[in-house]
Structure 1
Amino acid sequence: MRHQTAFIAATGTALPGEPVDNTTLGAALHVSDEWIDVFVGTRTRHFARDLATGEIRDTLADLCAEAGASALARSGLEAGDLGFLVLATATPDRLLPTTAAQVADRLGLDQLPVYQLQAGCSGALQAVELGQALLGAGAGAGLVIGGDVTHRHLDLRADAARLPTQELVNYVLFGDGAGAAVLTAEPTGDAVALRGLVHRFAGLGREPGQLVDWYGVGDRASDRPILAEDYKAIEEHVPAMAVELLWDVLGLAGWDPGDVDHLLPPQLSRRMTERITERLRLPDAREVSCVTDTGNTGNALPLLQIDRLLHGMARGERAVALAVESSKWIKTGLALEKV
């Protein structure tokens, strides 16, 4: 989909607490830290909950507001300069009021459109797409945020060591965090131009690769799984979909593979990222990844990667960011150029 050119003026991130290494997480789950490293390759992650006491230290709104405030401060803009806020998450604090509205309130925003997108790994780039459209409709600047607090699905009362591998993997893949970006209609701040954005549903006739359920008062005693993941299907389909997505983004931007200086690959886990990057065959591009240090933070991940990208991106350099959501198979990709 083509839009008027938009620019990333600045980014901000928020990761709660100290990093939790595999030894600490393995002890809490009664599994070996070696298994975690071999199976997913993540070394640390952050949780908004203290694993020892169960205390909730940060809500999703806390993390998103922190990331948003950081991005806004770095952009040089004021809250009153923003024309919209878009927040993407799969784990809102509540169904209502939306986390997006809570974050807008904390940031001092008023009398502007506020959107919340319910999405998984693709949500951050969906938020960028909506933000770009709003800039094209006349907004001068806006804030997009992606974040998740996956600890709410981490049940430390269960004997995780007895779980089947396809269930246990959900306990070790994820982490909590938020990322944000200020979008502008004119180049300012970091001045990274959006040269192409792909967002495509690719799940026609496919079984979901991931399921996150929710319960109300009437069905809270249901035995439906609250979280399920078909890791084998993800291993099979995501690398191939990432290759398709790369060529879609390059075609939209009018670039050749050799034009790409930085690659931001999908971030399910370090092991999966390694397999995907090998399939993408961009050996001259610098990989920008963070999943080894942060775990899979869902909607935060693409913005955490873009934040890292901006610290090392020189004028004229180009980057491609890719995200594949396995819930019902959604592909999102972004072409970026430092101007």
Structure 2
Amino acid sequence: MVVRSQIIGCGSYLPARVVTNRELAEMVDTSDAWIAERTGIRQRHIAAEGETTADLATQAALSALQAAEVSAADLDLLVLATATPDHTFPSTATKVQGRLGMTRGAAFDVQAVCSGFLYALATADNFIRAGQARTALVIGAETFSRILDWNDRGTCVLFGDGAGAVVLRAAEAAGTNRDRGILSTHLHSDGRYHDLLYVDGGPSSTQTVGHLRMEGREVFRHAIVNLAEVVGEALQANGLTAADIDWVVPHQANRRILEGTAKKLGLPLERMVISVERHANTSAASVPLALAEAVGEGRIKSGDLLLLEAMGGGFTWGSALVRY
């Protein structure tokens, strides 16, 4: 027998304010048709003034805990993925921990930008496999609207705010790829590509927050290759093929990237959970947001094989194969 991390609850939260492409067209030189054609995005949610990443994360966490029928007192671990923390320190995770009333175990942030949730999930899974935690809360939460240059139509139209969360619980399993739980996680990074996607600020370098900067075409090119490879790595590690996947739950960066990844894998687009049209790119929140939506709608069912994948600045990228 082996110990597996089972997802026992999913939750999400989106800010109330919705900004459509038409509204953005009143701010920058763009149009609904231009954005939709190139990205597949129609709208995004934007955090209200004073609404922080911790606020979004707490609401998503409460939603996931309720779905899992788990109390914060049961948690041993809280891992929060974000590139837009409330403060330089302490971690946003400890802020959420305090609000939830979690008084034991550990809480900390991880930062891998759009791959952050995969990094956080892998971290919590390894804690559980090592016997150092039994019940863990994993959150991806972002307020990317705070680091956007709203005069740059190439980037400001792409992103939104939101949060998603899952509750993991240790369970014994036979160790086959038919058992429920996280089968494997696969993480990568390559710092040579820092300048293709970054924020031009930081407490150590400029003492400012800065704005997101991106070379979109180059990021697209790397994303298609890296995501296909890391998906193949996950399948090979578990003796499975793309035909075995019930659902791909990808990072919601751009519909063209989703279509390109599906084509490279030989998967029909109908087997990908796609929410980019309504949420835009919510960075570390995008995978758990899409997962929670598909579970809530009844598309993802117990026993389904899920492939989670993402790529972000750094570059970072990763995948997780999960029997839901």
In the superposition, the TM-score normalised over structure 2's length comes to 0.90
Residue 164 of structure 1 corresponds to none
Q: 1:204 to 1:79 in 2, by over 3 A?
A: closer
**For residues 218 and 204 of structure 2, what CA distance do their matches in structure 1 show?**
33
Distance 1:295 1:177, change over 3 A: same
Shift of 1:284: 8.2
Residues 227, 318 of structure 2: 8 Å contact kept: no
Distance in structure 2 (CA, Å) of the matches to 1:204 and 1:296: 22
Question: Does 2:176 match 1:198?
Answer: no
Displacement of 1:30 in angstroms is 4.5
Aligned twin of 1:331: 317
Distance 1:294 1:138, change over 3 A: same
2:276 is matched with 291
When residues 168 and 117 of structure 1 are mapped into structure 2, their CA distance, relative to the original with a 3 A threshold, is same
> How far apart, CA to CA, are the structure 2 residues paired with 1:294 and 1:205?
30
Partner-residue secondary structure (3-state), 1:246? helix
Q: What amino acid is aligned across from residue 320 of structure 1 in structure 2?
A: L
Q: Which amino acid aligns with 1:100?
A: A
Q: What per-residue deviation string (whole Å, max 9, x for no partner) do you get for residues 231-254 of structure 1?
A: 111121110111111110101222
Residues 1:146 and 2:131 aligned together:
no
- CA 1:204–1:25: 2 relative to 1, 3 Å: closer
Q: Give the RMSD, CA atoms, in angstroms.
A: 2.3
* Same amino acid, percent of matched pairs: 31
- Listed as ranges, the gaps of 5+ residues in structure 1 are 50-55, 161-166
The within-5 A match list for 1:198-217 is: 198-201=186-189, 203=190, 205-216=192-203
* Contact 1:258/1:284 (<8 A) preserved: no
Q: Which amino acid aligns with 2:292?
A: D
Which 10-residue stretch deviates more, 177-186 or 147-156?
A: 147-156
Residue 217 (structure 2) pairs with residue 232 (structure 1):
yes
Per-residue CA deviations over 1:67-103 (Å, capped at 9, x if unaligned) read 0011011111111111011001011111112211111
Deviations, residues 206-243 of structure 1 (Å, cap 9, x unaligned): 4542111434499458xx96321111111211101111
Contiguous gaps of at least 5 residues in structure 2: 173-178
Q: 2:300 is matched with which residue? A: 313
Q: Which residue of 1 aligns with 2:128?
A: 135
1:173 alignment counterpart: 158
Query: How many angstroms apart in 2 are the aligned matches of 1:184 and 1:135?
Result: 8
* Cα shift readout 1:120-172 (whole Å, capped 9, x = no counterpart): 1111011111111221223220101011101112345xxx3xxxxxx422100
Q: Distance in 2 between matches of 1:114 and 1:207?
A: 28
Match of residue 52 from structure 1: none
Tell which deviates more after alignment, 283-292 or 146-155: 283-292
SS in 1 for 2:289: helix
Structure 1 Cα separation of the partners of residues 201 and 230 of structure 2 = 31
Could you tell me whether the CA contact under 8 Å between 1:242 and 1:266 is conserved in 2?
no
d(CA) in 2 for partners of 1:75 and 1:207? 38
User: SS of the counterpart of 1:5?
Assistant: strand
Residue-by-residue CA offset, 1:169-189 (whole Å, 9 max, x unaligned): 2100000000111000028xx
Q: Which residue among 43, 52, 57 is the counterpart of 1:59?
A: 52
Matching residue of 1:275: 260
Q: Which residue of 1 aligns with 2:175?
A: none
- Partner in structure 1 of residue 14 of structure 2: 15
Contact 2:137 2:168 survives alignment (8 Å): yes
* Alpha-carbon distance, 1:13 to partner: 0.3
Q: Please state whether the residue corresponding to 2:73 is helix, strand or coil.
A: helix
Give yes or no for contact 2:196–2:214 (8 Å, CA) kept in 1.
Answer: yes
Conserved? CA contact 1:124–1:302, under 8 Å: yes
Q: How does 1:104-143 map to 2 (within 5 A)?
A: 104-136=97-129, 137-143=131-137
Gap change, CA 1:231 and 1:284, over 3 Å in 2: closer
How far off is 1:287 after superposition? 1.3
Question: How far apart in 1 are the matches of 2:76 and 2:194?
Answer: 38
* Contact 2:28-2:153 at 8 Å conserved across structures: no
SS in 2 for 1:322: strand
User: How many pairs align?
Assistant: 314
Q: Which residue of 1 aligns with 2:176?
A: none
Moved more, 252-261 or 169-178: 252-261
Distance of 1:261 and 1:331 partners within structure 2: 21
The one-letter amino acid paired with 2:196 is G
Q: Alignment partner of 2:109: what SS?
A: strand
> Among residues 38, 62, 75, which one is paired with 1:69 in the alignment?
62
CA distance in 2, matches of 1:218, 1:209: 18
